[in-house]
Copies of this chain bind each other. A is one copy, B any other.
Amino acid sequence: MAQFGDRLVQAVRRTNTPTLVGIDPRLANLPDPIRPSVSAPAAEQIAEAYLAFSKGIIDVVASLVPAVKPQSAFFEQIGPCGVRVLGDVVQYAQQKGLLVIMDAKRNDIGSTATAYAHAYLGERGSNPLASDCLTVSPYLGQDSIEPFLEAGQPHGNGIFVLVKTSNPGGGLFQDLVADGQSVYNHVANLVNDLAYTHREPNADHPYGPVGAVVGATYPEQLAELREKMPNTLFLVPGFGAQGGGAADVKGAFDEDGIGAIINSSRGIIFAHQRDEYKDRFGDDRWQEAVEAATLDMIEQLRAVI
């Protein structure tokens, strides 16, 4: 099995776009045809609505983009039945040919990290949650990150480690300067070392199975980190709803126009509520709104890469 960095680069080349679609279901934003008809739906009803919504998104984007990123929090929010349908979403997306990047920001030490890794990075189908990639938080250090890599590598699965996040307060600890560089640069050093070590030396690109989450709200830092982390794929959130535009993410790509995937969640999946699309499509034709928003994002990104 090729390593994850290679699998993702090939998927981006095949679809000719680095667009990543985030699956973040929220009850209040579901289109009418999907939303439970009762005013106070039970958790099971919400879970079934989330599943139908997620499958509807996947049906539209499977032929357009390389990967989807389910946000575990929104499924966990409704309890165990939400996690059950999250597993269904993972499996449905993989069946449709998409890579699944599970956004769960897991982190722990030693054998506990290994347990998370087996949950999300085991062999496809080993359990319903087994994805192709997992987001990981770095505060606990290298020995908390390596277990994810060790468990994922044999199955061609990888991780994206939080390096520089897109929230307004992300800098509080990440921007602290120690030994002449910021904390996020210290994290970046580790991430690129791991990516370098685990890359395939003979591949036609430099990327390994360890990537970095770098927010699109910091375009100058994107370019700085791109240079500093030549073996690290970037997952860039914050396109669209969080304020980043196509020009802001340009710096995430290398000279060959690869090396990053750009995520949009709300901007695509709730396109039926956006000014640009709601009159044209509205709730009833929400899947067409998803398609239009995805195609628009693909085009916007092509203009700058």
- Chain A residues engaging chain B, CB cutoff 8 angstroms: 24, 26, 43, 71, 73-74, 76-80, 82-84, 86-87, 105-113, 115-116, 118-120, 127-129, 137-144, 162, 165-174, 176-179, 183, 186-187, 190
Contacts and interface: CB of A to CB of B under 8 A. Distances in A.
Given A73-B115, A109-B170, A178-B183, 13 more contacts: A26-B111, A71-B112, A73-B108, A73-B119, A76-B129, A80-B84, A84-B84, A107-B137, A109-B165, A137-B139, A141-B165, A141-B170, A144-B167
A76 B170 CA distance: 28
Contacts of A137: 105, 107, 137, 139-140
Given A73-B112, A80-B84, A109-B170, A43 B119 contact: no
A277 to B, nearest CB: 21
Nearest to A128: B79
A186 B111 CA distance: 28
A171 B179 CA distance: 14
A196 to B, nearest CB: 17
B87 A138 contact: no
Contacts of A186: 172-173, 176
A112 to B, nearest CB: 5
Copies of this chain, count: 2
A115 B190 CA distance: 30
A77 B178 contact: no
A183 B173 contact: yes
A183 B190 contact: no
The 5 closest A-B pairs by CB, nearest first: A79-B127, A143-B169, A176-B178, A141-B172, A141-B169
A141 B84 contact: no
B86 A80 contact: yes
A138 to B, nearest CB: 6
Question: Of A26, A74, A112, A162, which is in contact with the most chain B CB atoms at under 10 Å from its CB?
Answer: A112
Contacts of A129: 76, 79-80
A74 B108 contact: no
Contact of A77 (B105, B116, B138, B171): B116
A113 B165 CA distance: 14
A86 B115 CA distance: 15
26 contacts: A24-B112, A26-B111, A71-B112, A71-B115, A73-B106, A77-B115, A77-B116, A77-B118, A79-B129, A80-B80, A80-B87, A80-B127, A105-B106, A107-B107, A109-B167, A137-B139, A138-B139, A139-B162, A140-B162, A141-B165, A143-B168, A143-B169, A144-B167, A144-B169, A173-B186, A176-B183
